[in-house]
Homo-oligomer: A and B are copies of this chain.
Amino acid sequence: MTTTRERLVESARQLIAEQGYGPTTVAQVVKRADAHPGSLYHAFPTKQDLLVAVLENYLTRLRPQIVGPAWQDVDDPIERVFALLGLYRKLLVQSDHLFGCPIGSIALELHDPDPPVRALLVRNFDQWIGAVEECFAAAVDRLPADADPKKLATFVLTTMEGGVMLARSYRSLDAFDAAVASLRDYIARLTTPRTGGTR
């Protein structure tokens, strides 16, 4: 059983993901959550309080909703990086290229977010980078000695965010696929093969 608060946060999360933060109204959130306006104002005195709760909620979703499913059948740490990008590709396909990274979308919609919002955007990006950094750290013996797992993970994130942005604008996977293929080529050039022989 979900609480009214949980329903309000989930409704706000969905509406912001679908249409953006600005166009989302408190009235829409109340309606979708099937809640009383009073319950919303009690739990979230301002619309920004609701956004903060949504961004906190995304922190709890990354592992079970995104990283977990992507890595379920993949053991190789380098392949896990591309399985994660593959999951975003699947979300683009499923949404007819309308999918956007919710964190990236909010980050660009709000040109100068208030400190609590910006801090949560950063925590979400940090968490994503941290998950991919784990992969590169686990494959560190296959990377050049001066390779930096966090730096590589940050590059994976810019590739995902830029790729998702272009997929939505082009309504096509071509740009996303071009960026991911280039990233894969880079990582292949960085890593030594697991078995003998050259590529």
Q: Does A47 contact B (CB under 8 A)?
A: no
Interface residues of A in 66-80 (CB under 8 A from B): none
Interface string of A105-137 (1 = CB under 8 A from B): 101111110000010011001000000000000
Kindly name the residue among A22, A157, A169 whose own CB sees the greatest number of chain B CB atoms within 10 A. Answer: A169
Interface residues of A in 164-199 (CB under 8 A from B): 165-166, 168-171, 175, 178-179, 181-183, 185-186, 189-190
Given contacts A108-B108, A189-B189, whether A159 and B165 have CB atoms under 8 Å apart is no
Residues of B within 8 Å of A185, CB to CB, are: 186
Q: Whole-angstrom distance between the alpha carbons of A158 and B163 in the complex? A: 6
Q: Could you write out 28 A-B pairs with CB less than 8 Å apart? A: A20-B109, A20-B110, A22-B109, A104-B165, A105-B111, A108-B168, A109-B109, A118-B169, A118-B171, A121-B169, A122-B170, A125-B166, A125-B169, A148-B178, A152-B182, A154-B166, A155-B182, A157-B175, A158-B161, A158-B163, A159-B159, A159-B162, A161-B165, A161-B166, A186-B186, A186-B189, A189-B189, A189-B190
